[in-house]
Structure 1
Amino acid sequence: MDYGTLRGLVALLIFALFIIIVLWSYSNKRSAAFEDIANSIFEEDELSKKIKQSHLDTNNNQETNNV
């Protein structure tokens, strides 16, 4: 087996892996999981709610102190 044949086989293997990954990622089984992951950035968690509330409290305290 010469170097050119080996390079061709490696390229074919990489291409086959690429096709497998694409088919896996677009399969209907994975669609729901990917949708959940994509929409997770729009959900608020408890930590961000606490941070927002503390910022609101701080701003309210500053406004009452300035009056």
Structure 2
Amino acid sequence: MDAGTIHAIWTVILFLSMVGIIFWAYSKKQKTRFEEAANLIFADEEENSTSSQLKTGVEK
């Protein structure tokens, strides 16, 4: 095998890996999991505002 063949095989392997990752990321099975992860920052803000209200005794 020469270097050109090895590079071609490596390119095909990387391309198939990328296509697999894209299909995994956009599959419907992952949608709820990704939505939960996207909303985690808002859950943290609610928790922080609740704890700051308890400390100061002030409602927003």
| TM-score after normalising by structure 2 | 0.77
Tell me which residue corresponds to 2:29. 29
- Answer 1 or 2: higher relative contact order, Cα 8 Å, separation at least 6: 2
Q: CA deviation at 1:28?
A: 0.3
> How many residues are paired up?
54
Alignment gaps of 5+ in structure 1:
61-67
Where does structure 2 lack aligned partners over 5 or more consecutive residues? none
Which residue pairs with 2:11 in the alignment? 11
TM-score (norm 1): 0.70
Percentage of pairs with the same residue: 34
